[in-house]
């Protein structure tokens, strides 16, 4: 039976470094070919997810400060997920009828109305109902964005573009969550 390579072996370390550098160059090369629309979307997606990270962290803290249990935050996120899933299934015909721009603007409006509604009516029922509206915006935004990125990229770069999009959204949301926690603690 073959034995596992020793992670401390200098040859294993050198091969690992070369593989990481090769992948980094591959991603840099692919990123240099991203369209202007794809690049603009990545920047805006990063800003949006950083803002959402801040907002969701602060929101969860204030729900608790309003005297509601953590289950209200979980319920709100659950209704968001269900609504986003249903809307994502309906997105293809919606995109073909209304187009990306209108749907993305509508999604942003749904986000804004939902989050302002949750802040204006701090009751469990309102938080859950507006959580569903947030899910509508989230489902539209995710589905429309995926289709938009597909249309604004070449087949050879899509894997890299979607990976960069995911990393951008995750890192920005993480950074926003830390910033949101700092805002409330400060």
- Report the C-alpha gap between 12 and 17 in whole angstroms: 9
| pLDDT at residue 157 greater than cutoff 90 | no
- Report the C-alpha gap between 85 and 108 in whole angstroms: 17
User: Nearest-CA neighbor of 76 among 133, 121, 141?
Assistant: 133
| pLDDT at residue 8 greater than cutoff 90 | no
- Residue 62's pLDDT is what? 83
- Residue 166's pLDDT is what? 93
Strand, coil or helix: 167: helix
For helices 36-65 and 70-120, what crossing angle results, to 10°? 110
Cut 0.85: pTM above it: no
- Residue 186's pLDDT is what? 60
Mean pLDDT of 124-135: 90
Strand, coil or helix: 47: helix
Strand, coil or helix: 16: helix
| pLDDT at residue 184 greater than cutoff 80 | no
Mean pLDDT of 170-181: 93
């Amino acid at each position: 039976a073959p034995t596992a390579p020793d992670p401390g072996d200098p040859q294993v370390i050198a091969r690992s470094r070369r593989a990481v550098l090769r992948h980094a160059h591959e991603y840099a090369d692919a990123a240099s070919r991203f369209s202007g629309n794809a690049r603009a979307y990545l920047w805006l997606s990063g800003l949006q997810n950083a803002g959402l990270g801040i907002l969701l962290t602060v929101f969860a803290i204030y729900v608790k400060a309003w005297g509601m249990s953590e289950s209200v935050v979980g319920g709100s996120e659950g209704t968001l997920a269900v609504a986003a899933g249903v809307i994502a299934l309906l997105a293809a015909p919606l995109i073909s009828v209304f187009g990306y721009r209108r749907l993305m603007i509508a999604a942003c409006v749904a986000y804004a109305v939902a989050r302002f509604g949750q802040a204006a009516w701090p009751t469990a029922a309102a938080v859950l109902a507006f959580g569903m509206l947030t899910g509508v915006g989230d489902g539209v935004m995710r589905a429309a964005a995926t289709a938009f990125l597909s249309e604004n990229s070449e087949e050879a770069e899509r894997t890299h573009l979607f990976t960069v999009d995911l990393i951008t959204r995750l890192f920005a949301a993480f950074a926003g969550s830390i910033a949101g926690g700092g805002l409330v603690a400060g």
